Amino acid sequence: MAEFTPMIQQYLKIKASYKDCFLFFRLGDFYEMFFDDALSASRELEITLTSRDGGGEDRIPMCGIPYHSAANYIKNLVEKGYKVAICEQVEDPKQAKGVVKREVVQLITPGTVMEGTMLDDKENNYLASISYISNGEFIITYNDLSTGENSIAIIDRGWDAVLNELFNRPIKEIVISSDLEEKYQNDLTERLQVTLSYMDETLINEAFTNLVETISEEKLIQSFGRMLNYLQSTQKRTLDHLKPVQIIELEQFMTLDMYSKRNLELTETIMRKGKQGSLLWVIDQTVTAMGARMLKKWLERPLLQQNAIEKRYDLVEGFLEQFMEREAIREILKSIYDLERLSGRVSFGNVNARDLNQLKVSLSKIPQLKELLTQFVNQRVNKLGDHLDPLTDLYGLLDNSIIEDPPISIKEGGLIKDGYNQQLDEYRDASRNGKKWIAELEKKEKEETSIKSLKIGYNRVFGYYIEVTRANLHLLPEGKYERKQTLTNAERYITPELKEKESLILEAEEKSVDLEYLLFSELREQVKAYIPKLQALAEKISEIDVLQGFASVSELNDYNRPIFNSERRITIKDGRHPVVEKVMKNDSFVPNHVNMNDENDILLITGPNMSGKSTYMRQLALTAILAQIGCFVPCQSANLPVFDKIFTRIGAADDLVSGQSTFMVEMLEAKHAITNATENSLILLDEIGRGTSTYDGMALAQAIIEYLHEEVHAKTLFSTHYHELTSLEESLAKLKNIHVRAEEYQGKVVFLHQIQDGAADESYGIHVAKLAELPQSLIDRATVILKQFENDQTRETTKQTLVAEDDQQLSFFRQEQNKQKDNLTKHKVKDSNLLKSLKKINIMEMTPMEAMNELYRLQKKANEE
């Protein structure tokens, strides 16, 4: 480093502590970046790359951005997953001996963003940390720095369960220990696409012990300590707004894995990755940012406790019954700002006078909100207002201190009301009277000199001055005016009298500005004491907002209150898919019933493509989720069990990141459902087996159905194009065939989208190809080939191929639960040739697909011999 200039040496020394960050190095009015940072930043931000002499042999790559417009550049980098270290001058350049002292004052990362322009108002910005305990047990800690929320969850079902849990929340960054296994780190970056940060320190500073007072287990305290130490090391400022840690009891909520959340499009669509078209898009009738965030949290974690769900129903019903009062509440809520994030900004020290005015306006609405809630007949709604604290003292403090329309800057004065501070009033009086005296002096000078164009002005360099044009210089009296500045067409003068008054005015103005900043800082500290109460108030307002939103969407879309039962019965009359129904907008959605009692665990759904099988399956799952978050549901009536888990295998997609084919993804998702479901779960399986050969697919599909029927007993909707499987209704007592109606009319297929009992007659695949407008010659050829297939192989023959003895069934999923040993070793192999073939197989070197194909070949050979 000795070859570099002192300033570059300083840069390199600071950069060494922030190797994984862009270092924004303050030089005057710019943040500069050097070396590799400059090369990367110029590319990512599309700014000009230059160079400078740094003292070495070669010029140093350099790029820079103006500090006053840095926010947008920082936002750009953070959204791409980068970290930015802000390095400021912490010493007055006039007093510096040598290079001005600089330090990193804040580290901005994807999970620790605080600036409003970088945050989505309706979305939490979570930072997570993971601590590995032992034997497949992990602890996950969540923090939203912008709201102060802290929570913690224990995951004891292995790494896949960790991924499912993390996928369930909008995580931007994850803090881990430096020794977490590399395979886990790769999963986090590649599958979840988050930024990784490292923190090994887990001891909690005494100042923060109040955050873990309710936690007794040391492993939980240390896990939160990892998160807390990372926040302290990156933010370098007070964190008074952090809330006590809440333990997430995962067994109190419905389990929704990453596959189900994605396939059901709960918060974003699969194709566009946006909110529009998701379930959240349909039901979000909240009017505050706080309420929108709470709704999303409720949707991510449906309840399992029926009493808690029924309580929400009662509140929704109460809001539904009184439209006018509910609309009045909506109007009041529109005037309430984001109290959670305002509290965070107060604690963080980046709140301005306008933010405090927003806080004052919000508090002014609380008495009106309380009064409106007392007008509801429903007792639960009526009592919601009892817990709303209007914080009268805080409102009075803000009302007495901040003017109605303050400036954005807090360092230039003009934001504190007259009468709030006596000293400030005296300074202002001196300043105002001084300016009045200046105006009177200008008038007097004009009269004495008879120069009508004479004026008294002010600038920061020369202060106050008397300006006279050159044409009138001869009218000035001798000896009274002292020349100050010469202009092209005028001269500027000063008098002893004006100079004395200038000193008084400027001193008063300077002291006034300094005092206002001091008073505002003190005011901010006073507001900080109210943060816990503000956060409690924000939570209550959020809950009111979500519940009135449920009532609004239920009234708007004709949703009804469901009933729960403990007999595992599903009875839905005229059920509808909430999203498809809204998108269609023309009342053409065809509702359908769902009926499943204790004697019926599996509905086997057949019917042509585009007929509505997937829609029918999804709408049941969405209805169950809506019911368990406390919202009314899209149907005429519903009687449901409380589902503990929902699993889905819908749609086809390669997992290119992990190198898995569509079929492997299909098998993994099916395995996940089958091995984790209970009899109180809901499983949706859409066309299992279509990713492989016909015989393989049918064999797998039948084996899965039989396993679900005999071992799992979960309520299952299973759609298929393998019509041969419909014969299972005869052998499986709790399986029932249903189909989606379609009629052929004048050579064209008409989809009726109606569910009826029994199996479908045919698949109408060629008719769907016609609708897609494939070339007519291709359609004609397909028709000929289809007739040949139908002549060569009847359905009965296919059934005989599929039906096999129990000792020859596929044991792929049974092996996952270790409930039985390998079927091939349990049965005697009668034929010596078959035994030889079996011994030659090296299972450990075969892919899953090769293993399945070899098993099918052996089964076929056994049947033949």
Annotated binding site for ATP: 607-614
Beta 463-469 vs 455-459: how paired, if at all? antiparallel
Three-state DSSP state, 652? coil
C-alpha dist (Å) from residue 494 to 86, 422, 468, 470, 485: 45, 33, 11, 16, 9
Beta 60-66 vs 30-34: how paired, if at all? antiparallel
538: left (phi over 0), alpha (psi -120 to 50) or beta: alpha
Closest CA to 590 of 627, 622, 616, 556: 616
Beta 50-52 vs 60-66: how paired, if at all? antiparallel
CA-based end-to-end distance of the chain: 82
Q: Give the distance from CA 529 to its chain's centroid.
A: 29
Helices (H), 16-120: 35-45, 70-79
**Token couple for 36:** 């590799």
- The single-letter code of the amino acid at 331 is E
Taking the CB of residue 269, how many other CB atoms lie within 10 A of it?
15
C-alpha dist (Å) from residue 621 to 261, 614, 682, 715: 11, 11, 8, 11
DSSP annotation of 242: P
Residues 421, 425, 426, 428: is their CA dihedral positive or negative?
positive
- As a whole number of angstroms, the distance between CA 386 and CA 263 comes to 41
Closest CA to 557 of 572, 573, 540, 576: 576
Strand (E) or helix (H) holding 572: strand 570-575
| H, E, C per residue of 653-692 | CCECCCCECHHHHHHHHHHHHHHHCCCCCEEEEECCCCCC
Helices (H), 85-179: 159-167
Biggest distance spanned by C-alpha atoms of the chain:
133
168: left (phi over 0), alpha (psi -120 to 50) or beta: alpha
Which residues lie below 8 Å from residue 210, measured CB to CB, with a gap of 6+? 244
- As a whole number of angstroms, the distance between CA 592 and CA 577 comes to 10
Strand order in the sheet with 490-494: 455-459, 463-469, 490-494, 482-486
**Token couple for 83:** 């970290």
- As a whole number of angstroms, the distance between CA 820 and CA 815 comes to 7
Taking the CB of residue 434, how many other CB atoms lie within 10 A of it?
20
Contact 54, 76 (CB under 8 A): no
Rounded (to 5) percent helix, strand, coil in the chain:
50, 20, 35
- As a whole number of angstroms, the distance between CA 584 and CA 723 comes to 30
- As a whole number of angstroms, the distance between CA 270 and CA 262 comes to 6
Which residues lie below 8 Å from residue 10, measured CB to CB, with a gap of 6+? 99, 102
Instruction: Could you list the residues known to form a binding site, using ranges.
Output: 607-614
Contact 102, 89 (CB under 8 A): yes
Taking the CB of residue 668, how many other CB atoms lie within 10 A of it?
17
